[in-house]
Amino acid sequence: MNNLFLNTEILPYCKGCGHDLIAKNTTKALGKLNYEPLDIIVVTDIGCHGIIDKALNTHTVHGLHGRSAALASGISFGTDNPDKKIIVFIGDGGATIGLQHIMEASRLNVNMTLVVHNNYLYGMTGGQTSGLTPVGFHTTTSHEGNQFSGYDICALARTAGAPYVSRITGIGDISDQLAVAFSNKGFSLVEILEICPSYGVKLNPKRKLQEIAASSGKPLGEWTQHREPFEKHQGKKTDDLLGEVREIKKVFQSYLKTTVSLVISGSAGEGVQLAAGLISKACVSSGLCVTQKGSYPVTVGVGFSTSEINISTQPIDFHGINVPDMAIITSEDGLAHNRKRIESMTNGKLMIDSSLEVPKTGADVIQHDFRTVGARNAAIFAVFFFALKTGIISSEAILKVIEEEGKTDKLPLPKIKEALAKVK
């Protein structure tokens, strides 16, 4: 096989699928332009076309449904090498779902080429009507023929500002037409019309692709307008995001000898993520390595709030906690969210608010009234309690972080210190 970009001649599509022709002509066009496989970044969407990933020798990124244009835009923004070519594969279903992403990429003139595989329906999920299905076309959800005119994706992209747009049929050798699009500087879109052999052909017998394309009212063609592509400096606020992050220097000592995983959980709005950040930064200031991950419902401010923290004397290569070594639970919401993990603990420590029913667990249970300083600061008090009971970090390290972040007057520290003085 002499195709540099494909590792197989047998692509994973149904017999007669136009996706096969598009994939092979894409790689043929890239060859004509003298690209090497690793010069190419292919971003695919959910859909039948997306299963091409494993057959490509290029860089590949597989996105969520409708999000491939957005992912490719991010890649383009972060790629400084103009010799790299970013190609997006998306179906008519994904283009419908991600229409706004395509419009924004057109408007900003992001450097990439978007190839729309338009077979007039959702092929992977059962042949349903998409936003690009033409009037009269039969799908599994429009047995009498689609009653609505589909979007004109080419007209929309042109109106949004795309400098190069074309609509072609997926018949024969289309590599030269793709090569033109790939040669464009900035955003280009190619809509390739196909007919799905599994649903389109069966539900629209005797109809030919050329006739379907002609009757859709959306002409084949090529449209251009001059625009300069998006420049890296546009909208850029800083050269180094990490340069704005405060360096945490080691000023305290820790006697931790091994790796410890900790889960802190309570109710949303009660300072769980703030408390986790304080303990994590205190660990770093004590010479330890830390990872922190927060989780909470999509609706912010209600339900649980959980933070997972790994603490180690060595660099941490993988963040993940199945069953924690330690857990701090300050409310019923936090307990409900982590009950299974707590019940799976066979050792370690469970620090739980005294108002809560203690679940069955193999951990050493320590009950305390964390909410005595008020519900909003229960988690803050709990991390001081954690420092006092474990000795992994000191209270002084946490106080130092609070001071450096300007939160001294925003937290009830006198009340917390008074409550800590009563801890046995």
pLDDT (tens digit per residue) in 92-120: 999 999 999 999 999 999 999 999 999 99
Asked, for residue 138, whether it belongs to a domain, the answer is yes
User: Total structural domains in the chain?
Assistant: 2
Tell me the pLDDT tens digit for each residue of 250-276.
999 998 989 999 999 999 999 999 999
Same domain, 270 and 405: yes
pLDDT at 1: 47
Same domain, 106 and 220: yes
Helices then strands, each counted (H, E), the chain: 13, 15
Asked, for residue 345, whether it belongs to a domain, the answer is yes
Same domain, 281 and 415: yes
Find tokens 């010479």 and name the residue: 287
User: Which CATH number does the domain housing residue 204 bear?
Assistant: 3.40.50.970
Asked, for residue 211, whether it belongs to a domain, the answer is yes
Banded pLDDT at 28 (limits 50, 70, 90): very high
pLDDT at 2: 56
Same domain, 160 and 200: yes
Same domain, 56 and 132: yes
Asked, for residue 230, whether it belongs to a domain, the answer is no
pLDDT at 237: 60
Most confident of 42-56, 122-136, 338-352: 338-352
Residue 361 in this model has a pLDDT that exceeds 90: yes
Same domain, 216 and 74: yes
pLDDT at 192: 97
pLDDT at 318: 81
In angstroms, the CA 353 to CA 330 distance is 5
When mean pLDDT is compared across 215-219, 232-236, 371-375, the lowest value belongs to 232-236
Rounded average pLDDT over 343-350: 97
In angstroms, the CA 371 to CA 331 distance is 9
pLDDT at 355: 96
Banded pLDDT at 177 (limits 50, 70, 90): very high
Same domain, 410 and 360: yes
- Percentage, residues of the chain above pLDDT 90: 83
161-189 as b/e, with b when 16 or more CB fall inside 10 Å?
Answer: bbbbbbbbbbeeebbebbbbbbebebbbb
User: Which CATH number does the domain housing residue 308 bear?
Assistant: 3.40.920.10
Question: Would strands 121-122 and 128-129 be described as parallel, antiparallel, or unpaired?
Answer: antiparallel
When mean pLDDT is compared across 242-246, 247-251, 347-351, the lowest value belongs to 242-246
pLDDT at 423: 87
pLDDT at 320: 85
Residue 343 in this model has a pLDDT that exceeds 90: yes
Same domain, 214 and 317: no
In angstroms, the CA 30 to CA 36 distance is 8
Q: CB of 140 within 8 A of CB of 128?
A: yes
Which of 116, 282, 138, 270 minimizes the C-alpha distance to 200?
Answer: 138
Q: Which domain holds residue 289?
A: 246-421
Asked, for residue 2, whether it belongs to a domain, the answer is no
Q: CB of 390 within 8 A of CB of 383?
A: no
Residue 233 in this model has a pLDDT that exceeds 80: no
When mean pLDDT is compared across 122-126, 381-385, 410-414, the lowest value belongs to 122-126
pLDDT at 238: 61
Asked, for residue 205, whether it belongs to a domain, the answer is yes
Same domain, 219 and 252: no
Residue 241 per-residue DSSP state? G
Rounded average pLDDT over 188-198: 95
Same domain, 220 and 320: no
Same domain, 201 and 344: no
* Mean per-residue pLDDT over the chain, rounded: 92
Rounded average pLDDT over 23-43: 95
Same domain, 130 and 196: yes
Asked, for residue 298, whether it belongs to a domain, the answer is yes
In angstroms, the CA 376 to CA 378 distance is 6
Which of 293, 305, 292, 307 minimizes the C-alpha distance to 248?
Answer: 292
When mean pLDDT is compared across 59-73, 78-92, 229-243, 268-282, the lowest value belongs to 229-243
Of 224, 258, 278, the residue at which a domain comes to its end is: 224
Asked, for residue 238, whether it belongs to a domain, the answer is no
